[in-house]
Structure 1
Amino acid sequence: MQAQRKMRIAHYGRKPVKIYGKTTQIDSSLMANTTQEEKRCSFITLNSDPLYVAYHDEEWGVLVHDDKMLFELLVLTSAKVGMDWTSILRKRHDFRAAFARFDTKIVANFTERQIASVATNCNLDLKKV
């Protein structure tokens, strides 16, 4: 029973994916008759911030193949140094604006002044990042 619960948690929110040309199917019988609470990790509590809960339920642990989304996660994770994830999620809109909606071509051409401006506006310590 514990193994089945772990499988439900491990596959929550995931779709069949191709791995080396083979399609891996998720056993839907393991996910039948489960509640939202059973699918959440133990660190999500009743007191958890709703923004963090939404991130956990919809984004965390889901495969990402979009370059912009991967860049966004890289920037947000780097900015997290010394902060909690909820604070970063609250600033996500500001990060999107500061990093040109995470367009790598635009960010690659940032000048030193623009980089300093982003660091100031987003409260980033570039030494940590």
Structure 2
Amino acid sequence: MQPIHSSLTGKQGTYEYYREALAPDGFTLANWDYQNGYLDRQLDDKAMVFLRLPIEVRQGELDRPDSLIEFGTPFVLKHVYQTGVEENIGYSATPATAPLMNQFQEPINKDAPIESVWIEKAEAIVRELEQRFE
């Protein structure tokens, strides 16, 4: 995990506003409960590297559009999953379906080292978001 220093940290607004503003950029809600979660954007084509924007609910519950959320410190995360195709499992994994299947297996490494290309890409995205949400 690589934290990214950002002015997004501490920024507040409604969940609906940020969800709608970030969805076109590929951000989706992940690993959430009613009080916190992450807005994730996949950075690589293997669904192993993500930019994560942590969010915490300050008022309401996360599944409500009018809930007030606050951003934590963004970070880049890399999960390494077992690759290759297991035999006799009842489906054929393609590049498009592999990320869907990977969600059901435990990562080999939940906090793998992150190549600089992904850190730089994530930092550029965060800088663009900072400008957009000032």
TM-score (normalised: structure 1): 0.28
Structure (1 or 2) with the larger CA radius of gyration: 1
**Structure richer in helix, relative to its length:** 1
**Structure richer in strand, relative to its length:** 2
